[in-house]
Structure 1
């Protein structure tokens, strides 16, 4: 789903997308001349790779997020939870995929490695 930045108004509007087995839903609204606030939640199951043994496994997720979208370049210091939409289009599918990718890039252990107590840690 894509919406032109200029067509977003101050009244909150709902959105709901499904990416594989994950539902991404929430609201978006204009929060300034060049800003849109997107508040959402991811629910479902995501495939992760175990950081210890490399096995793929699925795990349930339920996580909320808040993002600021802007249609102009911004300084890095302003916020790390900001997405620049320089082409004037808000791409909800891309945002949803990006949030899932962020969760997958975190540290995860499969159920077998999670239960294993005897392992070597590097410091």
Structure 2
């Protein structure tokens, strides 16, 4: 789902996007001439790889996110939860894919490794 930033209104609007077995949903609204606020969550079963043993496993997740989207260049001291869209198009598919990739890049342990406290560490 792609929307021109200038066409987004100050009233809250809902969005919902399905990616594989995950649902990315929430609300968005304009919060300034160049800014849109997105409040959402990702819920569903995600395929992950254990960072200790390397085995694939599935975990049910419920993760929320809050973002600002701007159509102007950012200053260095502004928030890191900001996405620039210099073309003025808010792409919710890309936002959801980015949030899912962020979850996948975190440190994950499978249920078997999570219960183990003895493991070898290399220094």
TM-score by length of 2: 0.95
Can you give the 5+ residue segments of structure 1 that lack an aligned partner in the other structure? none
| 2:21 match | 21
* Secondary structure, aligned partner of 1:46: strand
* 1:1-123 paired onto structure 2 within 5 Å: 1-122=1-122
Please provide the CA RMSD for this pair.
1.1
Measure, in 2, the Cα distance between the counterparts of 1:121 and 1:39.
Answer: 39
Can you give the 5+ residue segments of structure 2 that lack an aligned partner in the other structure? none
TM-score by length of 1: 0.95
Measure, in 1, the Cα distance between the counterparts of 2:122 and 2:72.
Answer: 43
Deviation at 1:63, TM superposition (A): 1.0
Measure, in 2, the Cα distance between the counterparts of 1:64 and 1:10.
Answer: 21
CA deviation profile, 1:28-83 (whole Å, cap 9, x unmatched): 00001110000001110111111111111110000111000000110232011000
* Secondary structure, aligned partner of 1:101: helix
